[in-house]
Amino acid sequence: MKTTEIGAIGEALAAEYLKNKGFSIVARNFRTRHLEMDLICENETYLLFVEVKTRTDTGAVSKYGRPAAAVDAKKRQHLTDAATDYLRMNPTSKKPRIDVLEVYLNRKGALVTLSPRGIKHIENALI
């Protein structure tokens, strides 16, 4: 299974997780200029800009560190720029927030399931 397929599974699980937390999905894979935001979600108070980082529990987590560690300074700037572009195009009175969701998967052959480690939601990840 390709990395992009694993990422798509992680994004789908993250979207379902956020729906269960009371958010509605506004956009998936929002693109502006050369930037991308995985998910944009909202509830009555917040407009979330979400970066989803997915890892399998087959050694990739220990080899590469926690998924959120992949959100380096350059990626943080891209997320901030993408969120700013979205807000220019779609003004809102809701509080914007950039979150990171770490999704941990078990992978055995073609079977991919959510790991017991599950999903870790890091709110205000760029502060």
Domains of the chain in sequence order: 3-122 (3.40.1350.10)
pLDDT for the residue numbered 92: 95
Q: How far is CA 125 from the centre of its chain?
A: 11
pLDDT for the residue numbered 114: 80
Distances in Å between the Cα of 44 and the Cα atoms of 6, 19, 119 are 31, 13, 23
Mean pLDDT for each 10-residue chunk of the chain (127 residues)? Answer: 84 96 96 92 97 78 69 89 96 96 86 83 87
pLDDT for the residue numbered 40: 98
Distances in Å between the Cα of 118 and the Cα atoms of 19, 37, 93 are 16, 22, 32
pTM of the model: 0.88
pLDDT for the residue numbered 68: 77
pLDDT for the residue numbered 16: 96
* Amino acid letter for position 49: F
